[in-house]
Amino acid sequence: MNAIEKFWAMIYSGDEEIREEGFDKWSEFNQNNPKYMETIKENFSKKFYEEYQGKVLHDFHVLNVDILCNTRPPRKTEIKLLIYDFHEEYGKDLYFYLRYTGVKSYSFHSPDMDIEASWYGDIFEVTADGMLKHRIALINDACIEITFKNIRMVKAKKREVFV
């Protein structure tokens, strides 16, 4: 089990003390690896990497999750997360889609479906088989994990979002 898997498992433990220790280990990982994303950036498109690095997604809301699941041929599954700049740090009514293609696996965990799905933090990692894994921590102990081949960040217009 790598360092990310260890602290991630701790964060979603049923024990409050273990969760706090998990968040501490995540902070410690970030402090010890300030250039972590640079070590894996070749796994992303240049456009995505620049767009992602230019945003702080903390407190964005996850408004919608669309899953297009195709089992034939394998790995044609696609996931789109619609996120919204709740604090309007980047301008009024800013919406983005995070579009994952070549999805191998995904999981969504929420202890309460009536929560506001606000982005707490996230981390990417490269898996042993060369895929990428995006782990997203949401408030109220909710999380999203997606293992995928490619990701794009696409700005959406408000009129596209609510059709």
> What confidence tier does 35 reach under pLDDT thresholds 50, 70, 90?
very high
Does some domain include residue 129?
yes
Q: How many domains does the chain have?
A: 1
Does some domain include residue 16?
no
More confident residue, 84 or 74: 84
Does some domain include residue 59?
yes
Domain span at residue 89 reads 35-161
pLDDT, tens digit (0-9, with 9 covering 90-100), for 7-31: 999 998 889 999 999 999 999 999 9
Does some domain include residue 5?
no
Q: Is the pLDDT of residue 138 over 70?
A: yes
C-alpha span between 27 and 20 (Å, rounded): 11
Does some domain include residue 25?
no
Does some domain include residue 8?
no
pTM of the predicted model as reported, rounded to 2 decimal places: 0.88
Does some domain include residue 22?
no
Copy the structure tokens of residue 144. 């999203």
pLDDT, tens digit (0-9, with 9 covering 90-100), for 96-131: 899 999 999 999 988 776 666 888 999 999 999 999
Q: What is the mean pLDDT of residues 127-146?
A: 92
Distances, alpha carbon 112 to alpha carbons 117, 142, 146, in Å: 10, 8, 20
Does some domain include residue 10?
no
Residue-level pLDDT at 19: 92
Residue-level pLDDT at 64: 87
Of 56, 50, 123, the residue nearest 87 (C-alpha):
56
pLDDT, tens digit (0-9, with 9 covering 90-100), for 44-83: 999 999 999 988 888 888 888 888 887 676 668 899 999 9
